[in-house]
Amino acid sequence: MTRLSEGAIEALSNGGGFNDAVLQLVNIRKLDGGNGPARFRVMMSDGRHTLSSFMLSTQLNCMAEENILAPNCICMLKKHVTNILKDGRRVVIILEIDVIKSAQDVAGRIGDPIPYTDGQIKGPQSAPVPQSRPPLQPQNRNEVNRGFNRDFGMKAPSAMPSTPGGSSKVVPIASLNPYQSKWTVRARVTNKSSIRTWSNSRGDGKLFSMEIVDESGEIRVTGFNQEVDKFFSLIEIGKVYYFSKGSLKIANKQYTSVKNDYEMTLNGDSTIIPCEDSCDVPMVQCDFISIGDLENRDRDAVVDVIGVCKTVDEVTRLTTKSNREVSKRTLNLMDMSGKVVTVTLWGEEAENFDGSAQPIVAIKGAKVSDFGGRSLTATFNSTLMVNPDIPEAYKLRGWYDSEGHAIDGQSVTEVKGGSGGGNTNWKTLTDVKMEHLGHGDKADYYTCIATIIYLRKENCLYQACPSQDCNKKVIDQQNGMFRCEKCDKEFPNFKYRLILSANIADYGDNQWVTCFQESAEAILGQNAAYLGQLKDSNESAFDEIFQQANFNTFVFRNRVKLETYNDESRIKATVMEVKPVDHKDYSRRLIMNIRKLTVQ
C-alpha cells in the first residue's frame, strides 16, 4: 500500500512548505469560471486529515477533464503556492502534480481522515463551495505534458528569494490573480515594445508593453503615460527585475500572444527594481510546434516555431495607408518534419536580419495566416531569436548539417487548394495542366521557371485614380479634370497603372498569364509612369521596351483558378510575383531532382 505523507495537510493549511507530498485525491469539483475557463476545486487527504482548499491551476485542467485526476488516485504534489484571500482563508494552488497511482489501482480511501480546519479537528462535514472566480493562469496542454516547467535545462530554485526591503513575498507568475493585494514577482524581460502614441477625442497618450517570464509562466505588462516616463528607459531585454503592485485584469487576447489569462498594468504605486541574482530565471518560454502541424492550425492562431533559414529575400519597402514607409522581408524556415514555411518580418527586424549563413531561427508568438496554405508573420508582439542557446536549436542544427541540407523541403505556404502564394511549390507548366491545378473550390498557387515569348502591349496601360489607396480607372471629363466614380471626386491629374497579358513557356508547355503593376514593371524593367509618358511621346521607344522584354527568363509565382464568364469556363492565371532566376539555387534543385530519380 502506498504510504501517504501524514502531516502534510496541516503544514499546507498553515502556509508551510512540504516537498513532494504524497496525497490521496478524495474529491474533485468543477466550478464555473465565468468569462474564463472552468476551475477545479480539489479535496486532498494525507491519511490523517482532509483539506478542501486546493485549487487546480488552469493549465492542469486537462488532467481533470480527461479523468487523470479522479477520486482515490494517489498524487505527488510537485509544485504549489499558497494564496491568502481577503477574509484570511488560505487556498493552495496546485501548479504541478504527478499521479503515481491511478484511481483504478487503488482499493479505496486510505485511512480514516477527518477534515482539518484552522488547526482544529472537527467531525466529518461537507466542503463549502467557494465563490466562483476567473482563472489564475492558463498554459497550453503541451506544457502540462512536459511537466509544466519549460526553462531549457535551468533548475528552479527550491525557495523563492525575498524581495528588496522584504515588503512582500516573491510569488510565481502562475499564481498571480486579481484577488491578491500584495505580491512581487521576479522575472526576466523577454520582449519590449517601442513607445506608441495615440491621439483621439479624449486626448493624447502613450504606452509601451513588455513580456516577462519566470520558471512558472509568463505575463504581459503594459505601462501608460507617466509609467512610460518612469520605467521605459529602465527596462532592458534579457535583464531580471522585481515587479510589484501592478494591476491585474483579464487579458485581451486580441493584443497579446502571451499564454496567460491575465495581464499586468503598471500604475502610480508600481515598482520595478533590477535583480542582480538572476541565473536561475529562464531566458524564454516556448512551446514549439512542428512546421508540418501548421496545416492544422486556424487562421490568426499564435504559435511558437523553430527552423533553419533555408532562403531569405531582400528587404522591400512598402507605404502604408497612413503614408508611413515600412520595411518587409520574407524568409523560408524548414524543420525536421521536412516542411517549409514562409515567414514575413517587418520593421527593424526585417532590416537587421542576416540569413546568409542559414541560421537557426526561433519565433515566439508568430501569427498564422492562410495566405498560400499556411504562412507566418512576426508581429509587433512576436519575439525573434537567431541561433538561440536552447537544446532545440542545437538538435536542429545537427540534423540540418548531417542530412537536412540535402532535402528540398515541401512548402506548407504554397499547397494545392491554398489561398495564397509561397516560393517552393515548384511545377512545370505541364504539371499544372496534368494535375488540374485551379479546378478546385479554392485557387491554387505554384512556382515555375519560364520564359516570356510574347507580350500583348495593346491596352496594357490605363489612367487610374491618383489617390493613395485607389486604383480605379478614371473618366476623362474633357475639361482637364478626371473623375473617379469610386472616390466620387474629380482630380486634375491621374496615375498610370499596368495590366499586362503575357504568354510564358518552359520546355513542355506554355500559358497565358495576367501581370499587374509590380510584376509587369519587373518584366518590362520600367515603371508605369515612365511607360505612360513614353507611349504618348515616343511610340517606337515604347515598342522597343516590349521587344527587349521578350525571351527573358524569370521565376514566376502564379495563381490559377477556374472562372466562368458567359457560361464559358476557363483557367485564369495571375502572376503574383516575378523574380530573376537564382541559377545556383536552381542548379541545386535540379541536382536534388536527379538524385530522387536515381533512387526510384
What is the DSSP secondary-structure string of 350-391? HHH---TT--EEEEEEEEEE-TTSSEEE--TT-EEEES-SSH
DSSP 169: B
Mean pLDDT, residues 247-265: 82
Rg (CA), the chain: 31
User: Rounded to an integer, what distance in angstroms lies between the CA atom of residue 315 and that of residue 331?
Assistant: 10
Query: What pLDDT is stored for residue 599 in this prediction?
Result: 66
| CA-angle at 386, arms to 382 and 388, nearest 5° | 100
User: pLDDT tens across 350-399, in order?
Assistant: 999 998 889 999 998 899 987 667 899 998 778 888 998 888 999 999 99
Query: What pLDDT is stored for residue 216 in this prediction?
Result: 84
Does 117 have pLDDT greater than 60? yes
H or E stretch covering 40:
strand 39-45
3-state helix, strand, coil in the chain (%, to 5): 20, 40, 45
Does 568 have pLDDT greater than 70? yes
C-alpha cell read off for 324: 508611413
Query: What pLDDT is stored for residue 361 in this prediction?
Result: 95
User: pLDDT tens across 404-418, in order?
Assistant: 888 878 888 754 433
User: Rounded to an integer, what distance in angstroms lies between the CA atom of residue 29 and that of residue 11?
Assistant: 23
DSSP 4: P
How far is residue 396 CA from its own chain's centroid?
20
Tally Cβ neighbours within 10 Å of residue 318: 10
Mean pLDDT, residues 546-568: 88
User: Rounded to an integer, what distance in angstroms lies between the CA atom of residue 288 and that of residue 441?
Assistant: 32
Query: What pLDDT is stored for residue 122 in this prediction?
Result: 41
Does 132 have pLDDT greater than 60? no
Residue type, 542: F
DSSP 139: -
Tell me the range of 129-143, 461-475, 545-559, 586-600 where mean pLDDT is highest. 545-559
Does 15 have pLDDT greater than 80? no
Exposure b/e, 211-222, CB count within 10 A at least 16 = b: bbbbbbbbbbbb
User: pLDDT tens across 432-444, in order?
Assistant: 998 888 888 778 8
C-alpha cell read off for 236: 532592458
**Which has the minimum average pLDDT: 53-62, 138-147, 168-177?**
138-147
Structure-model confidence comparison of residues 515 and 162, the more confident one: 515
Contacts of 261 by beta carbon, 8 Å cutoff, 6+ apart: 36, 37, 58, 134, 135, 136, 137, 138, 250, 251
pLDDT band at 118 (very low <50, low <70, confident <90, very high): low
The residues facing 483 across adjacent strands are 475, 490
Mean pLDDT, residues 144-151: 35
Tally Cβ neighbours within 10 Å of residue 108: 8
Query: What pLDDT is stored for residue 565 in this prediction?
Result: 75
Closest CA relative to residue 83, chosen from 55, 113, 62: 55
Q: Where are the alpha helices (DSSP H) in 384-514?
A: 391-402, 429-434
**Helix, strand or coil, per DSSP, at residue 315:** coil
User: Rounded to an integer, what distance in angstroms lies between the CA atom of residue 459 and that of residue 506?
Assistant: 26
User: Rounded to an integer, what distance in angstroms lies between the CA atom of residue 100 and that of residue 97?
Assistant: 9
Query: What pLDDT is stored for residue 450 in this prediction?
Result: 95
User: Rounded to an integer, what distance in angstroms lies between the CA atom of residue 268 and that of residue 273?
Assistant: 15
User: pLDDT tens across 73-88, in order?
Assistant: 999 998 887 777 656 6
C-alpha cell read off for 280: 536561475
pLDDT band at 147 (very low <50, low <70, confident <90, very high): very low
User: Rounded to an integer, what distance in angstroms lies between the CA atom of residue 111 and that of residue 48?
Assistant: 7
User: Rounded to an integer, what distance in angstroms lies between the CA atom of residue 419 and that of residue 590?
Assistant: 27
Residues 58 and 37 sit within 8 Å (Cβ to Cβ): yes
Look over the chain and give the mean of its residue pLDDT values, rounded to a whole number.
82
Closest CA relative to residue 341, chosen from 389, 263, 289, 281: 289
User: Rounded to an integer, what distance in angstroms lies between the CA atom of residue 49 and that of residue 306?
Assistant: 48
Structure-model confidence comparison of residues 150 and 559, the more confident one: 559
C-alpha cell read off for 211: 513580456
